[in-house]
Structure 1
Amino acid sequence: MKYNTRPQAILLLADGTIFYGKSVGISGTTFGEVCFNTGMTGYQEIFTDPSYFGQIMVTTNPHIGNYGVKGDEVESDKIMISGLVCKNFSFTHSRPHSESNLYDYFEKQKLVCISDVDTRALVSYIREHGAQNAVISTDGTSLEDLKQLLYKVPNMKGLELASKVSTSSAYYFGDENATYKIAALDLGIKRNILRNLAKRDCYIKVFPFNSSVEDIMSFEADGYFLSNGPGDPEPLVQVQEVTRQLLNTNKPMFGICLGHQIIALANGVSTYKMFNGHRGINHPVMNIITGKGEITSQNHGFAVNREELEQHFDFEITHYHINDNTVAGMKMKSKDCFSVQYHPEASPGPHDSAYLFDNFVENISKNKNK
């Protein structure tokens, strides 16, 4: 599509603020919580990350699509974001190993995307006024109609979304002859998490988010993993209860992102919706145990209550986010359980946090050899 023939598009925020742009050529209207990611690369991994389900993504990198797409650079089977807002959309790409351009990738899945938006101004506005619901429209829907439709979109606070992205039936990943067996609860699991576990001699059975304790334990796993995922962790009451019962087996447990929050809730520590979440690939985290800083990939809009965690008799904070001191990692004192708020599987350049998978497998090995 020629640049000057693309129709005007609109981004409307819940507070009435409007940003204008251009449609990349896919007609439609879509809703979600608007958020931004500060990563300079990895847009395909972002778009397919189940943790972004229900969100309209604003990319701060001014060029999106310039290196195309590749089939093995996805975190799930489809695009998970509700829509995309960017500055410059590249219809052509230049990476030798890419398999397609981004427009064709979006067109096949009918993802609504608007470009030519002043994303610097938009991100500054979100930073100042906080995350909120929004609608992007490229099909000419009137402003008044968009306002009425947006008013009916539920707030992310209190919204359960794990059921929208979890597998509907259990499946296996890895070598069935591997040394260790792991039961993973799929709250929106990223594919690279499974790869990281499999290459550490683990055979994984991935269970739907609403699996019973009996179903999970029937696999006779050596350890349990709670995955990342979208939405508010508080409504996942059944998952919290399952987590409590799995902890009582005294087998090692590891949680990432939403799984980290579920472990806290299962032990009476609350979570809260952040004014603005952490979404990017260079977030600084301090490892309290080693005294070393880590460059991490993060994607979350909820966090664990630090004050409650510090007062809890059975928890120790292991990591914190250097920018705002929010909880980035924790472990239990009476159980072989630890978790982090960030994504050690992402490794967007630095591999600072890959050791967490090693630690989990080491815990499993020690527990098996008791």
Structure 2
Amino acid sequence: MPARPVKRLPSCFSHAIISLQTRCRFYATNVLAGDALGPIEHNGQKHQSLRVLKDGGKLPLPPVLDPVVLSERQRWQQPKQQPNVAEFTPFQKKLWQNPYAHTLASPLRECRATFTLLPTPLLTTLHPRPHPTTAAPWLLPVSLTTTQKHLGPPYRFLSHAYITAHLTKKRVWERGLYPRLVEKLGKGAVEKMVWREDMPALVLELLRKKVAGKLGWYFARSGALVPCSSPRREDLEGLEDVSCVLYLGSLRTRADDLQAEVAEMTAEGEKWVSYFTKGFAKYVDPHKAPGVTHSPPHWFVEPVAPRLQPRVRFPPLEFKTTLWRGRKVPVYSLPDMLSEEMTRELIRGSKHQNERCLVMKMGEHNVAPQILLMQLQAYLAEPGP
């Protein structure tokens, strides 16, 4: 007769674990606090509750069971009421209608290129999406084409064409991959991740389409935009609640065209400076002088050589503005930002197709398009001539 398999008896340690788990579940759902623990006295001087024992002794309650602590903590954990716009003060109304205030009030996130904390609207956000053919994860600007909020682990960096181009070269973007992204997708999927070579042009194209789609509603509605003669201060003084100016012509000058030539000349000079310091290192590098035995420190890159000052080589970015009643307001040139062809398609058939300059007034409904215009302007911003 074949022997039957003998069932192995569980160990005493497994019984102890099951009993402990049962007790933890019981206590987790039946937590006694405050007066439910028995007679309690409150010490007003120390803001502490004491449990009176049967023998007359007193035992201080921990903060998680103390009714005084719990009541004080719940005061700050109650959800706040939604703000009532009708009861706003004049200053609160200005903040509510200010796109810059909304931008600064947005959550701070880290740029994976510069590792600085910036408001979310100032960052370009990419999300991994599987390729329809190879199923390999691709990092794409999905947030510019959909209104969904939960799109997966994000990859954020400063929204500027230069930063996007820098990350695209020599797979620099791989240095910004953080552990959470690897944990969500898996190490194997991250190793196969693809970054499109035309990422700077793709982000610019999607930004333009999003801005044009948002402005299409304003050009199709009567009264949404107010025409004016020009963005000069004299022509804006008679208008009320000016928030931004949409200029339907180009603001580029001859100096802007020369800026590209100046950048090429600067890059050529920097190339020859680097060539000189490397070719004549024994004359300019103090660590290669005769008799020097120590190695250079970790922060040493190359010997010091005459170069252009950083403020001359990298001047501040230029953002067009004008004055309205002593306050600066932005001026957005649609042909320079959207291209001339897209601007013609935008104003074709509208009542503003013969206008030269339009004003968008302050209002809660005008905050979203102004934030999009600000994002596109920041992406295309260049140093001033």
Q: TM-score, normalized by length of structure 1?
A: 0.20
Larger radius of gyration: 2
Structure number having the greater helix percentage: 2
Greater relative contact order structure (CA < 8 Å, 6+ sep):
2
